[in-house]
Chain A
Amino acid sequence: MKVVLQNLTKTFPNRSRKADGDVVAVKDFTFEIPDGKMVGLLGPSGCGKSTTLFMICGLQEPTAGRILFGEEDVTSLPPEKRGVGVVFQNYALYPHLTVKQNIIFPLQNLKGTEKLTKAQMEEKAYEAARLVQIEALMERKPGELSGGQQQRVAIARAMVKMPRVLLLDEPLSNLDARLRLQTREEIRRIQKETGITTVFVTHDQEEAMSISDVIVVMKDGVVQQTGRPQEVYDNPVNLFVAKFLGTPPINLFDGNVRNGRLYIGGADVLGVEGAADQDVTVGIRPEGFILEDKGPLACRLSGIEVMGRDISVVSAHDASLNPAVRSVINAEKQVDTGGEMVRFSLKPNKVLLFAKDTEERVY
């Protein structure tokens, strides 16, 4: 089931007496979520990603625009008629019901011809439980489960009615780091296995990049960029997207372009054919640095962090917009930790240029 969002807009009345006008949570969001794909809505808190999710599931009504599931316009349908399953941020499992009762709960709401017998309900509940591998926990109460298990129960409850679209609100934010890794693979597996169109919301770019087919980066209610994770990472359209994606984050420098050459702090660091002469903000991905004795970019070495597979060279540069320049280098390379200066040359495809005023990408 593909999901189409057309010019979706949501405004809230302004609560503050001083400011005039409504608060725009989501502005003119147009996007098509392809059938059977997993889409990550990504952005800092307050960017409108959760509002978008709640509009898709029907808990919030859009101020303007349309939502289509396939060819069907669901904009004004209540949530239960849309066929969506939702996993809430804190899972919202009913604490006084057992796992089984929680999973069956949505089925007991069915009326008329859809009504199921007790045996059918049990069967469906166990089917959903099998999918997330919690059959052994059916008689427990949510309070007796770990965070990861609660997450699975919430997914089972969302899936038990075989929804057309699965929506997840910050699915991993309540889990610790190790469990997060495991659960995101689990979510990916369930999504692949059922082929269900899935939309999830996160502020964690790593989470979004790792399991989404497509990511949507949002800021202040406006979509910045959509595309495959690698595509968006490699070719961000503006400074915001470039800064938001990637850990460690992108390194920023003041620089300028003259005659097709890029200068940082007066040093000619790279050829940038085709870029117009201007002052720019230079973004260099941490993996875009090559350690070289005669490299053009000279930084003051402040330290080295060993991370096993890689080492991270922390240094400083006068033109840098961040306090530290962080570069990630293969651990097999020898770094002279005694030296005061460290010199880099740059990988051309890891260097991005942004206009100083508009912050749009210029190269």
Chain B
Amino acid sequence: MRKNNLKGWLYLLPAMLFLGAFMVYPLIDVFVYSFEEGYNFASQTYFDIGFYNFSYVLHDTYFLQALKNTFLMVVITVPVSTGIALLISVGLSAVKPLRNLFQTIYFLPYVTNTLAVGLVFMILFKKTAYSDGLVNLLIHWFGGASVDFIEGPYWAKMFVMCFYIIWVVMPFKILLLTSAIASVDRNYYNAARVDGTSAFRIFRKITLPMISPTIFYLVITGFIGAFKEYSDAVALFGTDLNAAGMNTIVGYVYDMLYGDSGGYPSYASAAAIILFVIVLTITCINLLISRKLTRGFS
């Protein structure tokens, strides 16, 4: 028995070593940094221990802007992308011919490089010396005034940002949802049809509850993913996100560490801890809600 135990630990050792060195230790370190005031990498010194880093970060207008941006992105993109993905998946499940073609098309963004997607969005939205971007052409065509989506008003930039995020995260959601819908036992639908259930009621009363675990999974991971948003913002607005007013929390952390104003590991750590607490809280709430709603499922 003991020998078996030893063997088990031995098998776990490589993974534990890696996780410990690259995940657990840095996590603890970040936590420690966040309380060390004015920590300096080079001299490995700090002035004091306390909550000053948090206080500074929470009063920093750049951080507050990043916080606001991130929250807006989360609140807009998660429900919208999940909702649209659900609609598309239901549609995909309903059509027989060309289903594979559509599935491939919808999945393309998933295998496309973020920066390539950013380039495409530039063509769509960015004003240059030669053109106002394709979307502006459309707006003109309908008689509207041109909008600068990349360097213009906040709402326009936020719109492009959310559009971009939704477009990028959708394929994965569609993939999971179509397979979830396909795995619902045909007999439930047969039984419902015999009873003359309307298509909408079948969707609401049978399909939706049956695939709800997948939906909750997507919402939870969607929240986490959106809170960690950074690279997509860079792809659209460049590396100086503070100037564009489109920074995110992760972007703020990065800037504090390596940006122009870099060299502040203590502030970066405090901001990272704040993000961690937010994500943890929201995920716990999500889990509680999903447990409550899917209770009694086999």
Contacts and interface: CB of A to CB of B under 8 A. Distances in A.
Interface of A: 57-59, 78-81, 84-86, 88-90, 92, 94-97, 105-106, 108-110, 141-143, 157, 161
Contacts of A141: 296, 298
Nearest to A142: B298
Contact of A109 (B188, B198, B210, B294): B198
B289 to A, nearest CB: 16
B194 interface: yes
Interface residues of B, number: 21
Contacts of A92: 185, 187-188, 190-191
27 contacts: A57-B194, A58-B194, A59-B190, A59-B193, A59-B194, A78-B196, A79-B193, A79-B194, A80-B195, A80-B196, A84-B194, A88-B191, A89-B187, A90-B187, A94-B206, A95-B297, A96-B209, A96-B210, A96-B294, A96-B296, A96-B297, A105-B192, A109-B197, A110-B196, A141-B298, A143-B296, A161-B195
A300 B209 CA distance: 63
A223 to B, nearest CB: 24
Contacts of B7: none
A15 to B, nearest CB: 14
A88 B297 contact: no
Interface in B244-298: 294, 296-298
Contacts of A94: 188, 205-206, 209
Contacts of B140: none
Nearest to A80: B196
B280 to A, nearest CB: 29
B226 to A, nearest CB: 28
Contacts of A106: 195-196
B99 interface: no
A141 B205 CA distance: 15
A95 B196 contact: no
Specify the main secondary structure of chain B where it touches its partner. Answer: helix
B102 to A, nearest CB: 22
Nearest to B296: A141
A289 B9 CA distance: 68
Contacts of B201: 108-109
Nearest to A88: B187
Contacts of A81: 196
A220 to B, nearest CB: 24
B190 A109 contact: no
Contact of B185 (A79, A90, A97, A105): A90
Interface in B188-229: 188, 190-198, 201, 205-206, 209-210
B210 A80 contact: no
A95 B296 CA distance: 8
Contacts of A78: 193, 196
Contacts of A142: 298
Contacts of A96: 209-210, 294, 296-297
Contacts of A85: 194
Contacts of B210: 95-96
Nearest to B209: A96
A142 B298 CA distance: 9
Contacts of A79: 193-194, 196
A283 B297 CA distance: 52
B197 to A, nearest CB: 5
Contact of A86 (B194, B296, B297): B194
Contact of A143 (B191, B194, B196, B298): B298
A92 B210 CA distance: 13
A205 to B, nearest CB: 25
B1 to A, nearest CB: 36
Contacts of B194: 57-59, 79-80, 84-86
A88 B195 contact: no
Contacts of B195: 80, 105-106, 109, 161
Given A90-B185, A95-B297, A80 B193 contact: yes
B215 to A, nearest CB: 13
A59 B189 CA distance: 10
B97 to A, nearest CB: 14
Contacts of A108: 201
B48 to A, nearest CB: 56
Nearest to A60: B190
A202 B13 CA distance: 56
A95 B187 contact: no
Contacts of B196: 78-81, 106, 109-110
Nearest to A98: B296
Contacts of B191: 86, 88, 92, 157
Interface string B38-57: 00000000000000000000
Contacts of B192: 105
Nearest to A144: B296
Nearest to B202: A109
A40 B191 CA distance: 21
Nearest to B191: A92
A186 B198 CA distance: 32
A88 B190 CA distance: 9
Contacts of B205: 94, 97, 105
Given A80-B196, A96-B294, 17 more contacts: A58-B194, A59-B190, A80-B194, A80-B195, A81-B196, A85-B194, A88-B187, A88-B190, A89-B187, A90-B187, A92-B188, A94-B188, A105-B192, A105-B195, A105-B205, A106-B195, A109-B196
Nearest to B201: A109
Nearest to A161: B195
B147 to A, nearest CB: 46
A50 to B, nearest CB: 11
